[in-house]
Amino acid sequence: MQASRDRDPLPWCLAIGFAFLVVCLHRLGLPDKIYFDEVHYVKAARKLLQGLPANREHPMFAKEVIAASIALLGDRPWAWRIPSVLFGVLGLHAYGRFVWYVTLRRRATILAAILLATNFLWFAQSRIAMLDMVSAGLGMVALWQFAALIREPGRNPRLRLAACGIAMGLSLGAKWSIAPALALPGLTFLGLRLRANGWRVVGRKGAGPVPGISLAEAAFWLGLLPLALYWLTYLPGMFWTNRPIDPLGFVHHHQYMLKLQDSVKKLHPYRSVWYQWVINWRAIWYLYEFVDGAQRGILLIGNPFTMLAGLPALLWCLWIGIARRRWDALVFVVLYTATLMLWAVNGKPIQFYYHYLLPAAFLMACLALALDAIWSRADRWRWVAPAAMAVALGMFVYFYPIISAARLHHGKQSYAQWMWLKSWR
């Protein structure tokens, strides 16, 4: 692969991750009770510790992580939520490394990490005991390891393939919505092998994209290993005393899971659909009440600037990807489209804005590439890029009280300050 002219921004990725960790930990124990969808997953984790079945419609690994946290740290709010924080920080770091190995652009990587940390969605899901951040964080690790493998094929290839496969299996074992992104490594390996060697691809270890790794071996690391680990995440359920999971009836069990998911048809006040997510139209109130001695709120909405600015950036990435063969830009377009279209074609009757978590992450990479291109210009429009970053950070600071359970000083009507759209109410 072509060597980078930019310096590796690893120190920046670490610094951004540390800052994000500090901000996430602030007021993590508020509210001092279960809120929003924690009602499903914290209670399920408690039942897992008792060897009882619960929340059968979703995979088990994220609930097992929450249960382990409760067992180690006690049954208290910050213990329920600390796994999401840790996987959110891990995922943010992995995302930065993924962007770096795909683009080899130092500034674009730094911008992408900052944009993800401040796009509201990543922050909110990193502070609530749900399944999303365990899945998304590990999914980003898988993409990082695979991108590093392709960029540096001679450096620890089997270790990186193993790390990618392990992260894939556990990520899928937390939540299925990561599946379209996890298909990318295997398809990319196959595509690069076909491009380099035609149809003579099986068993040739000296062939690209990773010399020494045959297609059969890659299929093991990127296919069989993740599936085996995914199967193992269900192991505790195989020992339930009440209707245990049949280890040989895995297909039937998944049919049952899908049936349970499709059975939820009661309309929810915060339901939305994919095209509303794209334009940041429908918010979700995770919390808004007098709790822990003050009026507090946790609003799930996207950063009003970056979510919309990312859309023309997405189209720009599509254009330069096709017209100028910028494969790095196309990677993020493909990931955005695949993870979003999953919900467009999904038959699940009730969907929510938090399902936009992964598409929004890849959208931030598109915006970072566009801003990096503007920043590199030697004309009067160069100022637009730093100004855009200032607006993005400013939006995060301005909305921080209403997305972080801060004390609101104007009673029940405090929320009106941030309600720019009627659909956010």
> Which tens digits make up the pLDDT trace of 299-311?
999 999 999 999 9
Residues 394-402, mean pLDDT to the nearest whole number: 98
Residues found in the chain? 425
Question: Is the bond preceding residue 209 a cis peptide, omega within 30 degrees?
Answer: yes
- Compute the C-alpha angle 83/39/77, nearest 5°: 45
Q: What integer pLDDT is reported at residue 72 of this predicted model?
A: 98
- If DSSP codes are grouped into helix, strand and coil, which group holds residue 376? coil
Q: What integer pLDDT is reported at residue 268 of this predicted model?
A: 82
Average model confidence (pLDDT) across the chain: 94
Residue pair 185/140 in contact by the 8 Å Cβ criterion:
no
> Which tens digits make up the pLDDT trace of 78-95?
999 999 999 999 999 999
- Compute the C-alpha angle 95/13/186, nearest 5°: 25
Please enumerate in sequence order all residues whose Cβ is within 8 A of that of 36, keeping only pairs 6 or more positions apart, or say none.
128, 284, 286, 287, 298
> Which tens digits make up the pLDDT trace of 184-219?
999 999 999 988 877 666 656 667 799 989 899 999
